[in-house]
Amino acid sequence: MYCLELAGEDDAFAAAEAAAGAATDVERVAPGLAVAVDVDAAGVRTLAYTRHADALLARTDATVDAAVAALDVTETDRVGSVAVRARDVRNTTGVDTQRAERALGSALVERGFSVDLDDPDHELRACFSDGVCCLGWHAVSSVRDYGTRKPTDRPFFQPGSMDPLLARACVNLAGANGERTLLDPMCGTGGVLIEAGLVGADVVGNDAQAKMVRGTDENLAHYLDAHDVLRGDATRLALRDDAVDCAVFDAPYGRQSKIETHDLADLVAGALAEVRRVATGRCVLVADRDWRAEARAAGWTVAARFERRVHRSLTRTVLVLA
């Protein structure tokens, strides 16, 4: 068993991302915490909304005394140096984390461990949250380098670009890891494709505007070794049936009532139908409204729906379609 420390404010969204390709049988147990039967270390490293995965030693009440008592009766075959890190996840418990680290560290020293805070052989993590403490040996952390890929820092930028954290989560929800091919039929400036390429997927982009195709090509060349970007109508993709494994796209928002020659509703419905034709697996649709009816009409099953508040006037709906 493993403990997952989740990031962000929507634990259901974070757990779904983890379960899509990095962890099995994910169950939320407290704010910011989940447990999983098993994890794939490489998959965890790519997650946007999971910070750490720890090999679970014990799950107990959210007090220092309960954590120490649980550690005292837990068997371990590990030896060497150790550091203890305690977290009051989401500040829900009021636990004195320094006291927790000292108490747990003392218990480990009594069992023969030495303390090394800089370069330990093992790291024991104690995550406290709303009545629960998960004790575990640190296994793997996600790579938190999204600030290096802010839309404004890319070679080509246009307002309204999806931030890389959400783009990565959508890529993972679509199941793009594992050398699959991911399509973005309305690729804009290429943010989704960048994140898909960085988790190991082959990427194919499409956009109706020549400016966006050129800009995406420039952005992808900056981050990835290989990519394909097409100019075309998302309702008539120049791809054969079953050409890609999965898809993610950010639909135009309501303020854009007319896109090229299509009404917005016709464009989204047509794109959903085309992606159903060319993709063999999941599609993740991000939009400023709920397109479930159009998705079902195009032959999709709605596997999950999430709402992501951006600011007071914008809430994104994320549909996971299968």
What's the fold here for domain 146-321?
Rossmann fold (3.40.50)
Q: Which tokens is 250 given?
A: 């950010």
How many angstroms separate the CA atoms of 161 and 153, rounded?
A: 12
Confidence of residue 136 (pLDDT cuts 50, 70, 90): very high
What integer pLDDT is reported at residue 258 of this predicted model?
Answer: 45
Q: Which of 228, 187, 226 is nearest to 209 (CA)?
A: 187
- In this predicted model, what pLDDT tens digit does every residue of 221-266 receive, in sequence order? 999 998 899 999 999 999 999 999 999 999 998 654 445 557 899 9
Residue 65, sorted as left (phi over 0), alpha (psi -120 to 50) or beta, turns out to be: alpha
What integer pLDDT is reported at residue 259 of this predicted model?
Answer: 54
Q: Count how many residues are written for the chain.
A: 322
pLDDT of residue 313 exceeding 80: no
Question: What DSSP designation does 130 have?
Answer: T
Domain with CATH 3.30.2130.30 in the chain: 2-141
What integer pLDDT is reported at residue 114 of this predicted model?
Answer: 94
What integer pLDDT is reported at residue 257 of this predicted model?
Answer: 42
Which residue in this structure is represented by tokens 């330990």?
120
Mention the CATH class of domain 2-141.
Answer: alpha beta
**Beta strand 258-259 with 262-263: parallel, antiparallel or unpaired?**
antiparallel
Q: Cα–Cα distances in Å, from 282 out to 167, 181, 244? A: 15, 11, 10
What integer pLDDT is reported at residue 75 of this predicted model?
Answer: 82
What integer pLDDT is reported at residue 315 of this predicted model?
Answer: 87
Q: Cα–Cα distances in Å, from 271 out to 63, 233, 251? A: 52, 9, 9
How many angstroms separate the CA atoms of 69 and 58, rounded?
A: 10
Q: Which amino acid, 280?
A: T
Domain with CATH 3.40.50.150 in the chain: 146-321
**DSSP characters over 88-105:** EGGG-S---HHHHHHHHH
Q: What is the model's pTM?
A: 0.93
Confidence of residue 21 (pLDDT cuts 50, 70, 90): confident
pLDDT of residue 169 exceeding 60: yes
Quick one: how far is CA 57 from the chain centroid?
Answer: 25
Query: Which of 141-156 are b and which e, b meaning 16 or more Cβ less than 10 Å from the residue's Cβ?
Result: bbeeeeeebebeebeb
Q: Cα–Cα distances in Å, from 48 out to 8, 96, 169, 199, 222? A: 9, 28, 5, 11, 21
Question: What DSSP designation does 244 have?
Answer: B
**DSSP characters over 50-111:** EEEEEEEEEEE-SSHHHHHHHHHT------SEEEEEEEEGGG-S---HHHHHHHHHHHHHHT
Average pLDDT over residues 27-32: 98
Taking only Cα atoms into account, the Rg of the chain, rounded to an integer number of angstroms, comes to 22
What integer pLDDT is reported at residue 261 of this predicted model?
Answer: 59
- In this predicted model, what pLDDT tens digit does every residue of 41-91 receive, in sequence order? 999 999 999 999 999 999 999 999 999 999 988 888 898 999 999 999 999
